[in-house]
Structure 1
């Protein structure tokens, strides 16, 4: 076999499906560091870690809010039971299941955090990956501004601790537009084209689809942006009583976040619905200026079919954070000669060194250390720098 044929064969073996990739050492280490840092912050606030399975039966995975992920989930048949299963595309629905079943006996509020891989059939517009790492937390219990605020602040704290710069938050009210549509005699479920035009901020399409309600919806579209300006505009409109309550909640959260958190900008988007379809309260998304895509998102939703229980949570997107953050400073790697006393090696490790132990006698320690990617080497009991 020629060298070219060997290279082609190796390249074919390394070919992966679209949206999947191998995480090589440097990137895998950075990803692990980010996940550990986020979970550490959640645990510092009293959140306990859970670990749902990668695969579940369809009737549980696609129950309640999970129905929104059905078309974006890989599915397969269980050869043992003969039942259809789904590979999770979102861990939030699994947390909801665990909270309402295995942890139903625990007192509320219940604070849970999680991390793990999710698989999606279709990537989103800003990220071609179909295998994603999801890290987040859920506060299950009271439907209050205080609870909303706690969840948002934990996410912001985690982002800041990682070194994320120029963080902004966009707060949404996914229930506002459906309530307004119903108040003017339109069924949100049968107005999908209009909802799509609103999400796209396509004013001409809204004018063509909304008829006599075009002016009202157009005025609401102008409230998107800086939260103080947007709230003022919303207050000037004639809106149903139920919408006023939503605006009050939106203003409370936005003002508290703006006053208590050191972030670049707080904006509101009262009409945004994409990705927030199953939310029953506020939604929010985190961004970093100059970084493509969301750093994460979250909000409040009812647990499965039980509207009496709700949760507010967030998920941070590791793939976006990998683009937004500098790699952590690499630890010093020390090449240690073969047959070095074990206690010496353990002492170096306890002092923070990464140790690479030779497997055979070395004639040129410096050259070998450089070949193995070490920053230092041990020679005659002394640490030397390359």
Structure 2
């Protein structure tokens, strides 16, 4: 390749070509996930890649995504368009408009690429596929359990073991900070929580610091859900947080029961009440999925309000998103069938019959077939499939 050609082949930072076998790994993984979710009654939707900016970033889940959304001018309407950076705002729009009259709860699933203006330390790519599920219009704990278990089942279907399901309550730490606290105190508390600095919290005064110190202390000893709830004194927490704690405990117990009934023993359910990053629009429940097989998050989800536009009307939704760029790194292999080389003079009906038998057929062109033959494990000769001992 010449220098000019190499220069033209460069891609912007954060974008990549998916080549064999990675493209096949991702496609097969997506197919497996969608099949798993469809088996639980989740119906697939496919939103457009582009929307009007004021729609994509309308009040609701999308209003926090302005900083990572690509924009361009529509040459037809001369209105600004946005390239989606997350599927959730589109789910909110669809549920609040085109599916507003459908009976609840809605169960939706999706598998689409998103694009972002910038990456971060954990995810440097700026285009990747999100696969996920949403339950819309149900506020019960059972739907919380279902969405968490479904995320686990999706990963199990891909061959993941030893997955950690890390639970939290979005806004937990913030709820313990008094509204009348001065900015210096607020910043000190937030810094202490972020750094898990018990000494700094101990130096602060007020009930909120004591409550956070208690949570930080028991969290330092264990993240196991059952053990943490046993050691948590929720009487020192605000009343609204007591409800959230009770709800989270119920959900964790439901997940444990489901995993036991499914005989899935290699899933760890943990709780980190002080983990707040990435749950900007969630409430009551948030969770993140990890695996020792790969660095970074496999996915995340939780509970949020489906609200679209300025009407103020909302309904509860629970959902999760799996990140295929991370998952793909852990799925190192893909089922590759041996390929059969068929010469150009073979009948098309013979090719069809071979494919019906499960063979992957590479048809010769009649010229320059040596490379194709070498890459195939078998060849078709005299009406039979024979081993291609010279294959590489």
Match of 1:23 among 3, 14, 18: 18
Q: State how 1:93-242 maps to structure 2 within 5 Å.
A: 93-182=89-178, 185-186=180-181, 191=186, 194-195=189-190, 197-203=192-198, 206=201, 211-212=205-206, 213-224=208-219, 225-235=223-233, 238-242=236-240
Question: Do structure 1's residue 68 and structure 2's residue 68 form an aligned pair?
Answer: no
After TM superposition, the score normalised by the length of structure 2 is 0.89
Check conservation: 2:173, 2:193, Cα contact below 8 A.
no
Match of 1:301 among 293, 304, 327: 304
- Segments of structure 2 that go 5 or more residues without pairing to the other structure are none
- Segments of structure 1 that go 5 or more residues without pairing to the other structure are 1-5
For 1:214 and 1:74, the matched residues in 2 are separated by 41
| Larger deviation, residues 287-296 vs 105-114 | 287-296
For 1:122 and 1:194, the matched residues in 2 are separated by 29
| Larger deviation, residues 18-27 vs 234-243 | 234-243
Match of 1:278 among 277, 281, 289: 281
Matched pairs, number: 374
Match of 2:43 among 33, 41, 48: 48
Match of 2:8 among 13, 26, 29: 13
- Secondary structure in 1 matching 2:117: coil
CA RMSD, 1 decimal: 2.2
Question: Do structure 1's residue 325 and structure 2's residue 341 form an aligned pair?
Answer: no
For 2:124 and 2:48, the matched residues in 1 are separated by 24
- What is the Cα deviation at residue 369 of structure 1? 4.4
For 1:7 and 1:79, the matched residues in 2 are separated by 36
For 2:98 and 2:218, the matched residues in 1 are separated by 43
- For each residue in 1:159-192, what CA deviation from the matched residue of structure 2 results, as whole angstroms up to 9, or x when unmatched? 101101211100110032233224x74499x946
Check conservation: 1:303, 1:310, Cα contact below 8 A.
yes
- What is the Cα deviation at residue 324 of structure 1? 1.5
Match of 1:360 among 356, 363, 366: 366
Check conservation: 1:118, 1:134, Cα contact below 8 A.
yes
For 2:74 and 2:197, the matched residues in 1 are separated by 45
Question: Do structure 1's residue 267 and structure 2's residue 273 form an aligned pair?
Answer: no
- For each residue in 1:237-275, what CA deviation from the matched residue of structure 2 results, as whole angstroms up to 9, or x when unmatched? 511221111001111111221232223311101122111
After TM superposition, the score normalised by the length of structure 1 is 0.90
